[in-house]
């Protein structure tokens, strides 16, 4: 079974990714902590994307799954539903040993979502530079 059969639907990335209200509520209204997490997101995501791409180059599904799982966790912190859905699909594909989905535009979609999340951080004043 190919990845396209496992995941036939496509996810469309929306303009605003995060649910700032839910993220803040999950942190008991601690805006400073939320800003710190947004800053750490900007530091951690490039490292994880590099790990993911290296794992893909070496065709190592377990490492691919691990990197995508970590990215999903970071995205989920901010209730970015679309990003979590894309990451989950990619994680499921990697767990099944199906890496084709990564080369069919889904990795690009995940990166677009991540950039949108970072743009939301900037618009909300959580980070000064993305």
The domain segmentation of the chain, as residue ranges, is 18-124
Assign 1 a pLDDT band (cuts: 50, 70, 90): very low
User: Which pLDDT score, from 0 to 100, does residue 17 have?
Assistant: 83
User: Which pLDDT score, from 0 to 100, does residue 16 have?
Assistant: 58
Q: What mean pLDDT is reported for the chain?
A: 89
Which architecture, in CATH terms, is 18-124? Up-down Bundle (1.20)
| End-to-end C-alpha distance for the chain, whole angstroms | 39
Cα torsion 60, 82, 112, 50 to 10°: value is -30
Neighbours of 119 (CB within 10 A): 15
Assign 9 a pLDDT band (cuts: 50, 70, 90): very low
Which tens digits make up the pLDDT trace of 62-98?
A: 999 999 999 999 999 999 999 999 999 999 999 999 9
């Amino acid at each position: 079974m190919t990845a396209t059969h496992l995941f036939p639907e496509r996810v469309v990335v929306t303009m605003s990714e995060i649910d700032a209200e839910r993220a803040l509520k999950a942190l008991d209204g601690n805006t400073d902590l939320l800003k710190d997490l947004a800053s750490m997101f900007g530091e951690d995501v490039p490292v994880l994307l590099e790990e993911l791409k290296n794992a893909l180059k070496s065709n190592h599904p377990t490492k691919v799954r691990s990197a995508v799982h970590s990215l999903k966790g970071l995205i989920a912190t901010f209730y970015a539903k679309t990003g979590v859905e894309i990451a989950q699909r990619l994680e499921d594909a990697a767990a099944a040993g199906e890496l084709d989905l990564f080369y069919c535009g889904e990795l690009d979609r995940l990166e677009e979502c991540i950039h949108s999340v970072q743009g939301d951080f900037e618009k909300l004043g959580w980070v000064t530079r993305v």
